Structure 1
C-alpha cells in the first residue's frame, strides 16, 4: 500500500466522516475529542456524530489542511489518514498556542487509523511520512493532542517530546 496525496480532499468528506466515526466508536468517544460539543453523541450514534463533526471536518478540509494523505487498503477503503498544516497565518486554529505560530511550525493533524487496520504498522508509516514531509519542506513537526488519550503515549514512543501545556492540550515536538 502506498501513501497517496488527496488532490480534492472535500470530495472525500463522507468517507472521512465514516472513518472518523469508526475511530470514535472504537475509542469509546475519546477521539475525535469533539471538545467543543455541548452534548457529545454516544459512540454508537452515527447521526449524532455526523451532526457535530461534519461541519468541522468540512471546514478543515476546505480551509485548514495544507496537505492530506491517505493510506488505502486493497479493498479501496481508507485505512488511515494524516493531514499537514503549515501555513498557519490567517487560519482560525485557536488550539495552537501563539508561542508556536511561527513560520517553521508544521502540525500533524487528522492522524487516524481505521480500527480494522490497527497493529499492522500503518500508523507508524503515516506518522513517519508526515514527519519526513514536514522536514522536507523546512518545517518542525508538532502535534497538539490531549494528555489523557492513548495517542499521547504513542507520540512519545515515536520520538515526540512534550514542550508545553496549553489549555486542555499538550504540545509535542518531533
Structure 2
C-alpha cells in the first residue's frame, strides 16, 4: 500500500466515484450520508448514485480540497482517500463554523477506506499521514462529521476531542 498525492484530482473523478460507491455499498448506504437527497439510491444502483454524487464530488475536487491523497493497493486500486482543506477563506464552506475559520485551521475531509480493507490499519495510516501533513503546514487538525457515524467514535479513539456542535454536525479537534 502506498499513499499518493493527486496533483490533478479531476482526472481521477470516475475512479473516485466508483470507490465512494464501494463505501456506500459497504456501509449499507450510511456513508456518504447524501443528506441533501430526498430519495437515496439503493446500494445496488450505481447509475443513480453517480447521478447524485458525481456533481458534488466534482465541486469538492475543483473548489474545496487543497490536497487530495489516495491509498492504492499493490494492484493500483484505490483502497482509501483523504483530503486536506486549509485555505478556508473565499471558499463556500457553509458546513464550517466561523469560530474555527482561521489561518491555523486544517480540515481532514474525504477520509474513507474501502470496507474490503477494514481492520488492517490503513485508516490509521491515512489519518496519521494527514495529521502530520497539516502540522507540517502549521495547521491544527479538525474534523467535521456527523455524531451518529461510526467515524465519530473512531476519531475520538484517535485523540480527537469534541469542541462544538454545529448544525447537524460535530466539530472535533486533534490534541497534541
* TM-score, with length taken from structure 1: 0.98
- Residue in structure 2 matched with residue 125 of structure 1 by the alignment: 125
Report the Cα offset of residue 40 of structure 1.
Answer: 1.4
1:13 correspondence with 2:13: yes
Match of residue 37 from structure 2: 37
Give a deviation string over 1:3-58, Cα, whole Å, max 9, x none.
Answer: 11011111000111011011011111111111111221122211111111000000
Partner of 1:109: 109
- Structure-2 separation of matches of 1:49 and 1:69: 23
In 2: Cα distance, 1:2 partner to 1:31 partner: 24
Runs of 4+ in 1 over 2 A off after TM superposition: none
Distance 1:163 1:19 in 2: 31
Q: What whole-Å deviation, never above 9, does each CA across 1:139-165 have from its counterpart, x for those lacking one?
A: 000000000000000000000010000
Rounded to whole Å, the distance in 1 between the matches of 2:137 and 2:57 is 25
Stretches of structure 2 lacking an aligned partner (at least 5 in a row): none
Aligned equivalent of 2:57: 57
TM-score by length of 2: 0.97
Gaps in structure 1 of 5+ consecutive residues: none
- Paired position in structure 1 for 2:47: 47
Contact 2:2/2:73, CA 8 A, preserved across alignment: no
Residue 25, structure 1, aligned to residue 28, structure 2: no
Q: Which residue of 2 aligns with 1:156?
A: 156
Give how far 1:2 is off.
Answer: 2.2
For 1:165 and 1:43, the matched residues in 2 are separated by: 30
- Partners of 2:98 and 2:89 lie apart in 1 by 11
Q: RMSD across aligned C-alpha pairs, in angstroms?
A: 0.8
> Is residue 98 of structure 2 the alignment partner of residue 93 of structure 1?
no
